Amino acid sequence: MIPSTLLFLLFLDGGEERVEKPSFEKPDRERERDRERDRDRERDRDRDRDRERDDARDRDRRRQRKDDIAPYSKNKRGRKDDEMDPMDPSAYSDAPRGSWSSGLPKRNEAKTGADTTAAGPLFQQRPYPSPGAVLRANAANQPPKE
């Protein structure tokens, strides 16, 4: 027995047999759309997998680079005070360490004219009397005025 829709189609086509696809199958457009969607999903999955693999590889490379770093730092700006540069001759001396600006006067420091670099008991004593002491001695030696 031939279904009625098929008979009707046979009648329209002039008697030529044309096989109609059963109605439960999807049309070609929908099938193609599903294939495209599946390809896109697969492509996204591959891209994510590649990205994760590359991230892991980069992480391993960074970790390996940290292991390959020289035993002493070449960056002088980042050096801590307690680190010693074995190639610096001044590191072995008793002189205090500092940067190029450590001896310069501070920006807001008053300029007194006194030598601030001279320290110790020898430099704290004046070899001459202070100006205030000279004025007081002169005032005491003069007779009182009337």
The size of the chain, in residues, is 146
> How far is residue 103's CA from residue 95's CA, in Å, rounded to a whole number?
13
Q: For residue 112, tell me if it sits in a domain.
A: no
For residues 89-95, average pLDDT: 78
For residues 39-44, average pLDDT: 95
**pLDDT of 49-80, one tens digit each?**
999 999 988 888 777 666 666 666 556 555 56
Q: For residue 25, tell me if it sits in a domain.
A: yes
Which range of residues forms the domain containing residue 41?
4-67
Report which DSSP code applies to 79. Answer: -
State CA 82 to chain mean position distance: 24
Q: For residue 40, tell me if it sits in a domain.
A: yes
**pLDDT of 14-27, one tens digit each?**
555 555 555 566 78
> How far is residue 80's CA from residue 82's CA, in Å, rounded to a whole number?
6
Task: Kindly report whether the global pTM for this prediction surpasses the value 0.85.
Answer: no
Burial of 85 (0-12, 13-18, 19+ CB in 10 A): middle
Residue indicated by tokens 């074995």: 86
